[in-house]
Structure 1
Amino acid sequence: MTERIVVVGAALLDGGRLLAARRSAPPELAGRWELPGGKVEKGEAPEAALVRELREELGVEAETVERVPGEWPLRSPYILQVWTARLRPGSPAARPLQDHDALRWLTPDDIWDVDWLDQDVPAVRETLTRFPTETR
């Protein structure tokens, strides 16, 4: 059996909004939107990987809050796990640094205005249940 490789995604929530990142690479994913994140390195905890990836990809300091239930298959042997996360106080504004060319903060009303990667759609749906009640 092939060892699974975990890819972590951040449901980065701020002020009742979810951050979406538009892929710039690889070419087959460019122009579509995803929850930012990346691969967990050998010996690294998924939560630590997510914090590291958000720093590398978006230049922000964040902290994980809770794991979103479920995991979603990507191209074998990768699987996606998602955590809700929030910006740490004093963190700089998010900006695309690696693998992305645009960012959007989406409210629950405009969450489907972007062309999400197919594998992120179920995770985004599950994340919607994490939004504070007053923003739904």
Structure 2
Amino acid sequence: MLVVAVALVDGSGTVLMQQRHFDAVHGGLWEFPGGKVEPGETPEDAVVRELAEELGIVVDAEALETVGFASGQTVPREKGGKGPSRPLVILLYACRVWQGTPAALEAADLAWLVPGAIGDLAMPPLDYPLAEALCRHL
């Protein structure tokens, strides 16, 4: 499964993180906004779509900076961790320009953090190497 994630970086250098709804897989954990790449989409098109759906903002795909990736296994969807896991690759982009004000349309909460503090959050396992890659990138 291919997933995209985005580090929105504001003018002061802080990064937007979102908290997953508590009833979701990895509920309550913090993550970079993003989601699955749909069939027929490029990763960049998926970023544009996901940020519109999740945060209500408009992003130009040309404003995306490639940061890095992480890979591993998905967490089974069924409660109790049952069911098959699948290979997962997350592509992380940074974006410094967008239109609109980010809102938690599909998340429990949003927070702007300095890049060095992101690794201190409770996050899904693959977000930690992404946070490290972001600190090297910025």
Q: TM-score range by the shorter chain?
A: 0.7 to 0.9
Would the alpha carbon gap of residues 77 and 26 (structure 1) be closer, same or farther in structure 2, given more than 3 Å must change? farther
3-state SS in 2 of match to 1:97: coil
Unpaired runs of 5+ residues, structure 2, are: 75-85
Deviation at 1:40, TM superposition (A): 0.6
Would the alpha carbon gap of residues 45 and 29 (structure 1) be closer, same or farther in structure 2, given more than 3 Å must change? same
Tell me the TM-score normalised to structure 1 length: 0.81
Determine if the alignment matches structure 1 residue 117 to structure 2 residue 124.
Answer: yes
One-letter code of the match for 2:19?
Answer: R
Q: Deviations over 1:22-57 (max 9, x none)?
A: 000553411100011001111101001011100000
Match of 2:102 among 79, 94, 97: 94
State the aligned residue count.
124
Unpaired runs of 5+ residues, structure 1, are: 132-136
Distance, in Å, in 2 between the alignment partners of 1:40 and 1:109 is 28
Determine if the alignment matches structure 1 residue 39 to structure 2 residue 36.
Answer: yes
Identity value in percent: 35
3-state SS in 1 of match to 2:19: strand
**2:56 corresponding residue in structure 1:** 59
Distance, in Å, in 1 between the alignment partners of 2:44 and 2:129 is 20
Tell me, yes or no, if the aligned pair for 1:51 and 1:62 is still in contact at 8 Å: yes
